[in-house]
Structure 1
């Protein structure tokens, strides 16, 4: 991995992407008063150090970008993901066929499911699969594919073909953010394709997202026609998300932190 000292403009680019979740080359060129080619050169240099991932026409956060402004995600975010995971685990009965996607929130769901019996889990996530390594009454199948990202995500044609052969009782997936109209969106088109296949092949389709994603704009559409049956989150969503979920007849479950009474 190649690291280098950031220029002032590169630092501004990273802050811009951190705030927006995804940014186009043209918008950054206009914001910073430089050419698109100059921005493109900066993006190439930043991608070499894993600060971002380049997509067609723009870029999103990479492994080394501190997406929430801290070296690690806050305790509050972890607590929210735990509450989300516990709520989702109650939706999934023992003996079910379940698709689990990748990401820290889905990993929390996986941990909450380890006490279930006779689950059949399919996942494109090596990190998710390893959570069940000692769960003897749960069968786990990895899709295979090309390794993509620090969380052990598997993508590519092999993963797609594998997923098309399954039908699931339940699927659980996270995603990168929302469109300005409140529709679920993702940063990585390759992962978004796998998520769409799983959506099409699942009866109960559960999206999990913590409140930090409500105002993050991503690149790729999560679905074409077949949307979530459920959205589970840790705070009340903004109006545009509520409206979009109503249009797709998606149930919203909010698992807020318990109130502590002051004495």
Structure 2
């Protein structure tokens, strides 16, 4: 077998591993395939160039971990509820504010509701959010460079968290895949979690915008705890045990009417 064949088989196997693990460090890759760290890094760089993976914090994750059919369903699922959530978030944001806005369909609804505002300064890694906010407004909109994830137009590269950490925000508007019964909030994408955590560290106020279906759903990667969030804006109040968890965490719950 030629060296090229070995490399191709190794890279194919690496993609299969990432489908299961979602994230691997370079040391994990080198150890699993019995190669040097330098060889592991070259494999990752080649796969990143092909748009199949992206580097993140000394490791690698899939470039497109979200199933496209799932995201298409999210765009129509609870659409009316997400519109109400977006309006409720926007009502608490003053003109001229500095914002971080997460990616996802709920945050796209928030962006749409913000179009009536003036002079907002916004950082986002969602091209959908950025495009919506940049058209017909006087907003300042900043996005990181990197690879665009086709399924939801999220922009990522290894330096995305560092880019976000250069800014200071009045509000960080985030959304998540789930909030479990331990009060942990999380997402299914390691890269998104790293980017959002960078924004949360730079924000005066953190707003979690979620529809009620996210309560009781466990996500793959922990982002934070309910106590790290200042306000949750949802379409309906959650059932037990989340009423108790919110009270213990001191997190304000706003139900979007």
Match of residue 66 from structure 2: 62
Q: Deviations over 1:44-75 (max 9, x none)?
A: 49x6xxxxx75259x997324447xxx73586
Q: Note the aligned Cα RMSD (angstroms).
A: 2.9
**Post-superposition shift, 1:218?**
0.5
Match of residue 158 from structure 1: 159
- Mapping of residues 130-169 of structure 1, within 5 Å: 130-148=131-149, 150-169=151-170
Q: C-alpha separation between the residues in 2 aligned to 1:101 and 1:218?
A: 16
- Which ranges of structure 1 fall in alignment gaps of 5 or more residues? 1-40, 48-52, 257-263
Q: Is the 8 A contact 2:171 2:203 kept in 1?
A: yes
- Structure with more helix by fraction: 2
Q: Is the 8 A contact 1:181 1:240 kept in 2?
A: no
Q: TM-score, normalised by structure 2?
A: 0.71
- Mapping of residues 34-73 of structure 1, within 5 Å: 44=16, 55=22, 62-66=66-70, 72-73=73-74
Q: C-alpha separation between the residues in 1 aligned to 2:172 and 2:182?
A: 24
Q: C-alpha separation between the residues in 2 aligned to 1:74 and 1:158?
A: 28
SS in 2 for 1:184: strand
**Post-superposition shift, 1:124?**
0.7
Q: TM-score, normalised by structure 1?
A: 0.69
Q: C-alpha separation between the residues in 1 aligned to 2:69 and 2:166?
A: 36
Match of residue 89 from structure 2: 88
**Post-superposition shift, 1:173?**
0.7
Distance 1:66 1:85, change over 3 A: same
- Which ranges of structure 2 fall in alignment gaps of 5 or more residues? 1-12, 25-61
